[in-house]
Structure 1
Amino acid sequence: MQQSNFRRWVTLAIISISGGVSFDLAYLRYIYQIPMAKFMGFSNVEIGLIMSTFGITAIILYAPSGIIADKFSHRKMMTSAMIATGILGFIMASYPPLWVMLAIQVAFAITTILMLWSVSIKAASLLGDHREQGKIMGWMEGLRGVGVMALAVFTMWIFSRFHPDNSNSLKTVILIYSGVYIALGILCWFFVTDGFTAREASAEEVAKPAFKLSDIIAVLKIPTTWYCSMIIFGVYTIYAILSYSTNYLTEIYGMSLVAASYMGIVINKIFRAMCGPLGGLITTYSRFKSPTRVIQFLALIGIITLVALLITNQNPQSVAVGIGLILLLGFTCYASRGLYFACPGEARTPTFVMGTTVGICSVIGFLPDVFVYPIVGHWQDTLPAAEAYKNMWLMGLGALCVVVVFTFLLSQKIRHQQPREHVESLQENGNA
């Protein structure tokens, strides 16, 4: 039993790290935009086009990724996705022309979103029952963060060992990522199962019908799908807003760009690794015992924090206060990110449509990727800094109010809903 439990956590680590680092080459601009322009010969506009190509394709593929997770072997999908992503990296390391890079980004979206995203989340969720979802998803987010941070630090160190004008520096970074992807793909083959775990299937799972297209409509008819989607939507809006922390600290508090950039690393890398597991621990050991209620509690703390940011935004004096408030908001965001995909499991979503549910929730929940950045960018370009960031914090306040409302609705639904009733409702909707 102890060995089985050990293997379960090793499997979770492999799934989490694979799901986390798989996006790093698609998002290479986040760290290496200047080297990409210098060595690959792309303008900043072209690099932006490369990024938007991945983003648009990803939004289209989130929902189908859920169907993939419900219909195909998790082991085969994760293994092939990671190895294929590594092979694409080798092509990317040849510094191809723009049209090839655009094709690679579309292919990255297929391997990381269509083949891997919902599969990895469902595979992790199956490692425990509904009572363990908060702990599992919290650790999944934390392990993803650890993997991303460790590989980013290592590749940055390798990059720094080269002469600034040596084009092999970026190429080496890309090749390291590619090799790691292929190695993780091999580990997935040996550790990830086809879709079941050592825990015994419930009666509902044994009697589950085969997945069919009408299940998509059935999932959309379930209120908890929309509740979970809107919870993710609100939390992810805060996640997108926090990417402007560096700009905020430099423009409002006059912090140096270097110091503010270090704060950005703390918020976006270190906090991601730490806060996901903390959210799971809060769920497991606090009196809440519910990922949904923990997210609601964190959203209330976030609302108070945003009100404080709005007040200090008008009269910024202490940079320490500004940093403290942003770190507190970052904690609530990343702890919630580690829990929001536990909500469908807590709502007793049947496992045979869990992937579809995750896919639909991802499409709706990650829509802030489409509108937050252009809106905030417009405010930054057209308004005084104080007013632009006031509007940004107000947007975040509205998003957290959405989280509070829909966590309340989901909690009420969970409280009055029995697992069998949920399955019967799904089957009735599917047959309608």
Structure 2
Amino acid sequence: MEPSNFRRWLTLAIISISGGVSFDLAYLRYIYQIPMAKFMGFSNTEIGLIMSTFGITAIILYAPSGIIADKFSHKKMMSFAMIVTGLLGLLMAVYPPFWVMIVIQVAFAITTILMLWSVSIKAASLLGNHEEQGKIMGWMEGLRGVGVMALAVFTMWVFSLFAPENPASLKAVILIYSGVYILLGVLCWFFVQDGFTVRSDESGTQKFSLKDITSVLKISTTWYCSLIIFGVYTIYAILSYSTNYLTEMYGMTLVAASYMGIVINKIFRALCGPLGGIITTYTRLKSPTRAVQLLSLVSIITLVVLLITNAHPSSVFIGIGLILLLAFACYASRGLYFACIGEARTPKYIMGTTVGICSVIGFLPDVFVYPLVGHWQDTLPAAVAYRNMWLLGLAATAMVLIFTALLIRNIRSHAVPAGTAKQPTQEFI
């Protein structure tokens, strides 16, 4: 492998892993909801409110994060964000009261969303040309998953070394995450490029300006991509309740369900993330949007079966199999939905802003899914609570089907006619 190419993929790995694991403390509930309630003293509703605080703040910050990605040094932003996130984790490890956790979640949103989110996606996007976007984004999601999975398995192993009632178990997990964040911040400084935003387009050299925000909002594909992300991300949020679902509906032990949660939310993410990119790179199905549409059909079928089995749960293996199938469709789609923005030929100089705006809309489920499902868990019988959750997922997936169809129609209507020479593309390595 050529050194320059090796460095490109190593840089992609550092960007991806940093972008992936940086959220794990903010989303600690995904695996450790029950220990959080036990050792930190929070109810399910309070934990949901902690999550929604992060989500609400994130929604406010996604669009500015896109402007930062187009205007400021990627290296400085990523390094500072990772180190400060690690320091916030040290504060979280003292098991602060509810109001301090709320403040920490706001600070997490500033470091991981405002300073890191759009920056990491654009920094990765600039590592490849237009034709490589499906591959780059797919591998980015996969490498994120590898980092998240490896760290989750290691921290779960450390957690299991403690006695079940020992509050130091969760504290050790938080401290490990904090140390890894600081180390990744140092690596970002040495490998990530500045990524300034002057780029060559067909009409000449253009630079991002604030008036381009209005232009991005006027593009119909911005809205189509946003709502595709919204639908897929709703399923992603719902999958975080897999541990609770298997425990309450099928009687799995907490440790077994927690390991299953790692398989569903971490290992499958690592395996399925690159799969979409591989499919669009090496098969006849070249369109990321079309691949997401087909995966949404798989999700709809799976959710219908989950609704049927939810009323009469019998075999835990059927429940696990259905959730794994839903996770496959979700994570493969996550590896492709930002490639849809590239497939729509969004100019590079406004790529960060487009990602930011799509993220504002696409990640709105962070605001309402967690407190809503937490409220259902606290106030309804388990079977009713999870029936409502699967119905919510079904409605979101139907949205994905509708807006992938609209985006495909738009892409085809603007396709280069046969026999017309393609515009040259520039590879940013």
| TM-score, normalised relative to structure 2 | 0.86
**Could you say which residue in structure 2 is the equivalent of 1:424?**
none
- Shift in Å at residue 46 of structure 1? 5.9
Distance 1:79 1:359 in 2: 20
One-letter amino acid matched to 1:192: V
CA RMSD of aligned residues (A): 2.9
Does the aligned pair in 2 maintain the 1:205–1:352 contact within 8 Å? no
Does the aligned pair in 2 maintain the 1:205–1:350 contact within 8 Å? no
- Shift in Å at residue 89 of structure 1? 2.9
Distance 2:99 2:309 in 1: 47
- Shift in Å at residue 253 of structure 1? 4.5
Distance 1:374 1:95 in 2: 21
What CA deviation, in whole Å up to 9, does each residue of 1:142-190 have, x standing for no partner?
1111111212222333444456676665554433322222221121112
**Could you say which residue in structure 1 is the equivalent of 2:226?**
229
What CA deviation, in whole Å up to 9, does each residue of 1:221-274 have, x standing for no partner?
100000000100111111122233344444544555554443322111111111
- Shift in Å at residue 392 of structure 1? 3.0
**Could you say which residue in structure 2 is the equivalent of 1:120?**
120
> Closer, same or farther in 2 for the Cα pair 1:171/1:372, shift >3 Å?
closer
**Could you say which residue in structure 1 is the equivalent of 2:264?**
267
Equivalences, count: 415
1:12-31 map, 5 Å: 12-31=12-31
Does the aligned pair in 2 maintain the 1:54–1:105 contact within 8 Å? yes
- Shift in Å at residue 90 of structure 1? 3.5
Give the alignment partner of residue 329 of structure 2, picking from 302, 322, 332: 332
One-letter amino acid matched to 2:362: G
**Could you say which residue in structure 1 is the equivalent of 2:421?**
none
Does the aligned pair in 1 maintain the 2:73–2:196 contact within 8 Å? no
**Could you say which residue in structure 1 is the equivalent of 2:392?**
395
The DSSP-based 3-state class of the residue aligned with 1:12 is helix
Say yes or no: does 1:305 pair with 2:314: no
What CA deviation, in whole Å up to 9, does each residue of 1:14-67 have, x standing for no partner?
00010111122223344455665676x654476555444323222211111111
One-letter amino acid matched to 2:135: K
Distance 2:310 2:76 in 1: 51
Q: Which moved more, 1:393-402 or 1:275-284?
A: 393-402
Distance 1:301 1:373 in 2: 24
> Closer, same or farther in 2 for the Cα pair 1:325/1:213, shift >3 Å?
same
Distance 1:289 1:345 in 2: 13
Distance 2:257 2:173 in 1: 25
Unmatched 5+ stretches in structure 2: 417-429
Distance 1:388 1:166 in 2: 30
> Closer, same or farther in 2 for the Cα pair 1:47/1:236, shift >3 Å?
closer
> Closer, same or farther in 2 for the Cα pair 1:74/1:166, shift >3 Å?
same
**Could you say which residue in structure 2 is the equivalent of 1:207?**
205
Q: Which moved more, 1:180-189 or 1:11-20?
A: 180-189
**Could you say which residue in structure 2 is the equivalent of 1:345?**
342
- Shift in Å at residue 138 of structure 1? 1.2
The DSSP-based 3-state class of the residue aligned with 1:26 is coil
Distance 1:43 1:78 in 2: 32
Does the aligned pair in 1 maintain the 2:93–2:174 contact within 8 Å? yes
> Closer, same or farther in 2 for the Cα pair 1:403/1:165, shift >3 Å?
closer
**Could you say which residue in structure 2 is the equivalent of 1:430?**
none
Distance 2:267 2:397 in 1: 23
Does the aligned pair in 1 maintain the 2:231–2:399 contact within 8 Å? yes
- Shift in Å at residue 128 of structure 1? 1.1
One-letter amino acid matched to 1:295: V
One-letter amino acid matched to 1:266: V
> Closer, same or farther in 2 for the Cα pair 1:167/1:135, shift >3 Å?
same
One-letter amino acid matched to 1:207: T
- Shift in Å at residue 9 of structure 1? 0.7
Q: Which moved more, 1:211-220 or 1:160-169?
A: 160-169
Q: Which has the higher contact order (CA 8 A, sep 6+)?
A: 2
What CA deviation, in whole Å up to 9, does each residue of 1:94-148 have, x standing for no partner?
5556554443332221111100011001111111122211111111111111111
Distance 1:319 1:35 in 2: 23
Distance 1:378 1:48 in 2: 8
One-letter amino acid matched to 1:364: I
> Closer, same or farther in 2 for the Cα pair 1:172/1:262, shift >3 Å?
closer
| TM-score, normalised relative to structure 1 | 0.86
Say yes or no: does 1:359 pair with 2:356: yes
Q: Which moved more, 1:168-177 or 1:221-230?
A: 168-177
Does the aligned pair in 2 maintain the 1:126–1:196 contact within 8 Å? no
- Shift in Å at residue 386 of structure 1? 4.5
Distance 2:379 2:37 in 1: 27
1:400-415 map, 5 Å: 400-415=397-412
Unmatched 5+ stretches in structure 1: 420-432
